[in-house]
Amino acid sequence: MNIYDFDGTIHRGDSSFAFYRYCLLHRPYLIFLLPVQLLGALAYMLKLTDLVGMKQFFYLYFRWIDAEKMAQRFWEQDIPKNIYPWFYEHHQDDEVLVSASPEFFLKYACDALGIKHLIASKIDPKTGKALGPNVTGKEKERQFLAVFPDAKPLNSFYDKDKDLYVSNLAEHRFKVIKGIPFEQV
């Protein structure tokens, strides 16, 4: 079993921001939400809201689009350009993707990439509201162990040290730097 982070690990850059840019390109009227989204970022920086609250400000634009349909279209054009080639060399049948990005959004990518197991942040695609905790840091490990309590992962792939909680469960850890996995000792 392999455990993967997604953004910056399998996918070149942050897929949620890439999706936002895609939505802006196809629905330019969404730019009018930018002041509210920036207000959410400011509230987070000033510690007036937590990460989940900030993300709800960001995902506010879901109310004005069909996020599920647009996600499908986004992944059709994004996967060939932005999935790192090394991923295909390590692909296995029992992989688990653990990510802070929205679950409904990553579902389409997982289907296209042949990843059967997905643990991600639950976000309502119609409202942008969080339906659970943000799956990052220690929460990744907690949710992974809730689903796979007896798993003994062989490899884990990550790009940020906050992913070490879940990555430390694997026998081998690979930090992905600029699209290249380096085994960590």
DSSP assignment string, 98-142: EEEEEHHHHHHHHHHHT--EEEEE-B-TTT--BSS----THHHHH
Residue-level pLDDT at 111: 95
pLDDT tens series, the chain, 185 aa = 999 999 999 999 999 999 999 999 999 999 999 999 999 999 999 999 999 999 999 999 999 999 999 999 999 999 999 999 999 998 888 899 999 999 999 999 999 999 999 999 999 999 999 999 999 999 999 999 999 999 999 999 999 999 999 999 999 999 999 999 999 87
Residue-level pLDDT at 185: 72
Residue-level pLDDT at 122: 98
CATH architecture observed for domain 2-13+68-184: 3-Layer(aba) Sandwich (3.40)
Is the distance from CB of 24 to CB of 118 less than 8 angstroms? no
Residue-level pLDDT at 130: 96
Residue-level pLDDT at 172: 96
Domain ranges of the chain: 2-13+68-184, 19-65
